[in-house]
Amino acid sequence: MTASPAIDSLKAAAEWQRTVSPAPEWLQELKSASLSKFLAAGFPTQRAERWKYTRLASFARKSYALPGAQGGAGLALPAGAFRALEGPRLVFIDGCLHEGLSDTGNIPGLRITNLETAIGEDNRLVREQLGRIADGDLHQFTRLNLGLLGGGAVIEVDRGVEIRQPLYLLFMSQAADAPLVANPRILFRLGERSSIKFVEHHIGEPAADNLVNLCGEGIVGQGATLEYYAIHEDTGGSCGLSSLHLRQAGDSLVRHNSVSLGGRMIRNDVHSRLEASGASIELHGLYLAGDRQHVDNHTLVEHCAPHTTSSQDYKGVLQGRGRAVFNGKVLIHEGAHGSNAQQSNSNLLLSGQAEVDTKPELEIYNDDVKCSHGATVGQLDKQALYYLRSRGIGEETARVMLTFAFAEAVIQKMAIAQLRERIEENVIRLLPASERIRTFL
Amino acid sequence: MSDSILEIKNLHATVAGKSILNGLDLAINAGEVHAIMGPNGSGKSTLTHVLAGRDGYEVTEGSVCYKGEDLLQLEPEERAREGVFLAFQYPVEIPGVNNVYLLKAALNAVRKHRGESELDAMEFLALIREKMQLMRMDESFLNRAVNEGFSGGEKKRNEILQMSVLQPTLALLDETDSGLDIDALKIVSEGINSLRHPERAMLLVTHYQRLLDYVEPDFVHVLSKGRIVKSGDKSLALALEAQGYDWVEKEPVSP
C-alpha cells in the first residue's frame, strides 16, 4: 500500500549503507527497526492529521540516493553562509559533516564531537539519547533520519559554563544528478546552569531537489538557557524537514526563533517537554511564502510539571500562491497546576490566491492554569493604516511600512545583531516594494 | 479680522449607520484656540475623526471649509500634508515601526508637499532632538516601536512631539489630557502652548476643565447630541465644571 519510488529507493539506500558503512550491532538494530517502521507507514499523506494541509506526494514520487562521501579539500564555505557570525561552526553538505569547513573552536566547557566518531567511541550521550527524545509515532521522519543516519554532531556544554559565541550549524543542499536524501542528526546536552546559542541555517542551490531531513534531540539541564535560531533561507526545490525535540529540566529556559524565508517545501517541528517546575519556552516564528512555496510550522509543548510556562508567537506573510500551515499545540498534563501557556498566530495575506491553514490547539487536563490562544488571518491593521496616513504618509507607503513592520516585529526579538541585519535585508528583498521600504529605513 | 482656518456648517455625520453629528456649526480663525467640551457620547471624538478623514465616518450633510477649500474631498494623508493634525485620544501601537522612521517619513512627506527639500539624516536628527528636549523625552525613544508598550503619558507626549515636528496649521487635540498625571499634564500643556502661533489654529476636545487651566482657550463650546449648544469664553468651562453638563443640556438652544 505504501510502495512508491521514494520508499523503494530509501530501502535500497539502507541496504547500501549497511554494506559500505556498517554500524555497531546495537545501533544497526536500532536503525533497522526504525527504518522498517518508517517504510511500513510510508510517506505521510494528507489523511494523517499532522499532515492534513501539507502534501508530500511529489516528494514521495522521487527516487533518492545517498550523498557521496564529503571532505574534499577544494570545497569553500558556501556563498550563502552567515560569514559575519563569529564562533564555532559545523558545516553539513547534503547532511554530511564536512570537517574541513567546520571549526569547533576549542572552547573550554564546550565539547563537540563528530557523530560518527562518537559512535565509534561508544559515547555515553549517544547511547542514552539517540532516538530517545524524538517521538517516532508523532514525528515519522525522525525514524527515517535514524534509519538512514547521515552525519551529525554531539554537543555537550559543561555545567555552569556560558558559551558566548553562537554555535553555527550550516546545512547546505547541493544540486545533484539525482535527488539526494540527507539525514543529519544533532544530539546535545546542556549541563546545569549552562547556556549556549545555536544557529541552524539551511540554504540550497536553486536547482537542488533533495530531501533534507534534520533531527535534533537535546536535554536542557536545570537552570540552563538555550537560545535557538532555526533559519531556512530559500532552499531551492528541496524539501526541508527540520525537527527539534527537547526535554527541559526545572528552571531551564529555551528561546526559539524560527525564520523561514521560502523554499519549495519547508516543514518545521518543535516539540518540547517541560519536565520540572520553572521550565519555560518561548517560541517566535516568522515565515514568508510566495508562488510555489509552502511553509508548515508544527509545535508541541507539553507542560508535564507545575509552574511551567510557554509562549508561542508566529507570524506569516503570504504572497502570490504561497501556502502556509501553523499548528501549535499545547498539552497541559494532569498535575501541571499553575502553568501558563500563551499562543498566537497571525497571518498577512497580500494576495487573494495565498492560503493559510492555522490551528492553535489546547489540551488541558488540569484546573488552575492560565492559557490563551488566538489566530488571525487577514489584511493590515486599519487603525495603524489610518494613524500613519493621518501623519501625511501616503496610503501605499503606509501599507508597505506596515507589511515590513509585521515581519520586523519578529526579527527584533532576535538577540544576535548580525542575524537580525541579514534576515531584515532578506525580508525586504522578498517583500513587494523593496525599494520603498529602503527609503524609510 | 483674522484669516479663517476652519468653517464647519451644518455638519451631519454617521458612524456605522448611527447619526452622531446633527448640524454642527463652528468657525475657527488663525491664532485662536477653541475648546470643545461635552459629555461622553456627545460627538466630540467623532468630530475630530471626521476632520481627519477616518474611514467609516460618513458625512451626510453640511460642509467643512479649510483654508478656503473643501476639506472633505481630501484623503487623510492629503489633509495632513495641508496642515491638519490630529492628536489621537488613543494613539495606535505599531510594533515593528520605529518612531524615528515614522517621524522621518511623515516630515518628508509634508515637506515634499510644501515644495521643500527632504531633510538629510543629520538635519533631521538635529530637529528631532530639539523637539524631544521640549517634551522631555529620552533619546532611546527614537528606536522604540511607535507607541508600543508606552505608558499613557508617553503616548500623549509622543503625539505632541509629532505635532511639533509637523508644525500643522490646524491642530485637533482629542482628549489629550486623559490618562495623564499632573507632571505629564504640565509637560504636554507646555508643549501645546509652545505651538500657539498667530498663524495656527487649535481645537482642544476635552471632557474636563483641567487641561484648560494650563492651555487657556479663547473660546469654549459645549457639544451635546452632535450640536454645539452653547459657546462662550473660558469662564464657560469653569461654570461647566461647577454645574455639570446637565445645566447646558437643559437650557434651550440659543439661536
> Residues 149-188, chain B: which have Cβ within 8 Å of A?
162, 166
Question: Between chain A and chain B, how many beta carbons pairs sit less than 8 Å apart?
Answer: 90
Mutate which of A387, A396, A420, A431 to test chain B, going by most B C-beta atoms within 10 A? A387
Task: Give A169→chain B minimum CA distance, Å.
Answer: 28
Residue B206's pLDDT is: 93
- The Cβ of residue A72 has, within 10 Å, a number of other Cβ atoms equal to 10
CA B9, B15, B19, B21 torsion-angle sign: negative
Residues of chain A scoring pLDDT < 70: 1-3, 69-74
Predicted-complex ipTM score: 0.95
B109 neighbourhood in chain A, CB within 8 Å? 391-394, 397
Q: Which residues of A touch B (CB under 8 A)?
A: 381-384, 386-395, 397-398, 401-402, 404-409, 412, 440-441
Least Cα distance to A439 among A394, A407, A372 occurs for: A394
B121 neighbourhood in chain A, CB within 8 Å? none
CA distance B198 to A149: 79
Residue A217's pLDDT is: 98
Least Cα distance to B251 among B232, B224, B220 occurs for: B224
Residue A3's pLDDT is: 67
Q: Is B81 on the interface with A (CB under 8 A)?
A: yes
B54 neighbourhood in chain A, CB within 8 Å? 386, 390
List % helix, strand, coil for chain A (3-state, nearest 5): 25, 35, 40
DSSP 8-state secondary structure symbol assigned to residue A393: -
Phi first, then psi: what are they for A153, rounded to 5°? Answer: -145, 150
Mutate which of B102, B124, B159 to test chain A, going by most A C-beta atoms within 10 A? B102
Which residue is closest to B159 within chain A, CA to CA? A391
Q: Is B75 on the interface with A (CB under 8 A)?
A: yes
CA distance A248 to A270: 13
B76 neighbourhood in chain A, CB within 8 Å? 386, 389-390
Residues of chain B scoring pLDDT < 50: 254-255
A436 neighbourhood in chain B, CB within 8 Å? none
Minimum-distance CB partner of A391 among B55, B145, B162: B162
What region does A368 belong to: left with phi over 0, alpha with psi -120 to 50, or beta?
left
Q: Are A364 and A333 in contact (CB under 8 A)?
A: no
Q: Is B138 on the interface with A (CB under 8 A)?
A: no
Task: Give B80→chain A minimum CA distance, Å.
Answer: 5
What is B127-143 written as a DSSP string? HHHHHHHHTT--GGGGG
Cβ separation B101–A440 shorter than 8 A: yes
Cβ separation B95–A389 shorter than 8 A: no
Q: What is the pTM of this model?
A: 0.88
Cβ separation B105–A393 shorter than 8 A: yes
Which residue is closest to B83 within chain A, CA to CA? A392
Q: Is B12 on the interface with A (CB under 8 A)?
A: no
CA distance A32 to A132: 15
Cβ separation B80–A402 shorter than 8 A: no
Cβ separation B106–A391 shorter than 8 A: yes
DSSP E strand stretches across chain B: 4-15, 18-29, 33-37, 57-66, 69-70, 84-87, 94-98, 145-146, 170-174, 201-206, 219-224, 227-232
